[in-house]
């Protein structure tokens, strides 16, 4: 690695699954700020990245908590933001608790706003950046047992498409990646 500063990529939900894979891949060219709720998994990711010559700052954050996000991302100048964190509790609406509903709204939608809102002004000011949103094919294809999950993923698509229109004149790009159902865990976080 040369002495020149490398660009910074923030990856949410980086402790496992898609987020971990994205962080490992991006670490070849970017310094990583990896966020998730599990310190041990983030530490493992950071060690793996650093063993390959990269740089990773592991930041434990509850993305459903605005204060946690602010603390985690204050001072971070991201060139790339990968909004990956997500929760998928898949069950019929009549079996879903209010807490499960709220968790999906908070992590899948509200955290998307909070994290992007924290990092986007810097991208706009620097006239460069790339916001990647990991959505799901469920955002276009509803299914039984996916009432809340599908609703959030529809929202993710609308958020990303509208954001793209708002920031393109500032040379900030926005993309949505929509993995298929094989990446959706029956219950838990991704």
Residue by residue, DSSP assigns the chain as: --SSPPPEEEEETTTSHHHHHHHHHHTTTSEEEEEES-HHHHHHHHHHHHHTT--EEEEE--TT-HHHHHHHHTT---SEEEE---B---S-GGG--HHHHHHHIIIIIIHHHHHHHHHHHHHHHHT-EEEEEE--GGGTS--TT-HHHHHHHHHHHHHHHHHHHHHGGGTEEEEEE---GGG--SSSB-
Is a pLDDT exceeding 80 seen at residue 188? no
Which of 61, 108, 110, 149 is catalytic? The answer is 149
For 93-103, write each residue's pLDDT tens digit.
Answer: 999 999 999 99
pLDDT for position 135: 92
Beta bridge partners, 12, equal: 35
Is a pLDDT exceeding 80 seen at residue 65? yes
For 117-159, write each residue's pLDDT tens digit.
Answer: 999 999 999 999 999 999 998 888 888 999 999 999 999 999 9
pLDDT for position 180: 82
pLDDT for position 177: 94
Is a pLDDT exceeding 50 seen at residue 190? no
Is a pLDDT exceeding 70 seen at residue 169? yes
Mean pLDDT estimate for the chain: 92
Terminal CA-CA length for the chain: 31
The stretch 50-60 carries a mean pLDDT of 96
149 in catalytic set: yes
Domains contained in the chain, CATH given = 8-183 (3.40.50.720)
């Amino acid at each position: 690695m040369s002495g020149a500063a490398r660009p910074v990529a923030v990856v949410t939900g980086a402790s496992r699954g898609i987020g971990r894979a994205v962080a490992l891949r991006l670490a070849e060219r970017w310094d990583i700020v990896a966020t998730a709720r599990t310190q041990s998994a983030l530490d493992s990711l950071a060690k793996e990245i650093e063993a390959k010559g990269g740089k990773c700052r592991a930041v434990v954050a509850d993305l459903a908590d605005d204060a946690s996000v602010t603390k985690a991302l204050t001072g971070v100048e991201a060139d790339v933001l990968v909004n990956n964190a997500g929760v998928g509790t898949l069950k019929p609406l009549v079996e879903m608790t209010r807490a499960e509903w709220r968790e999906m709204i908070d992590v899948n939608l509200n955290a998307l706003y909070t994290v992007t809102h924290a990092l986007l002004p810097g991208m706009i000011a620097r006239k460069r950046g790339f916001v990647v949103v990991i959505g799901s094919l469920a955002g276009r294809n509803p299914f039984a047992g996916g009432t809340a999950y599908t609703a959030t993923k529809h929202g993710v698509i609308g958020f990303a498409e509208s954001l793209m229109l708002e920031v393109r004149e500032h040379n900030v790009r926005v993309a949505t990646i929509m993995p298929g159902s094989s990446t959706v865990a029956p219950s838990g976080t991704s």
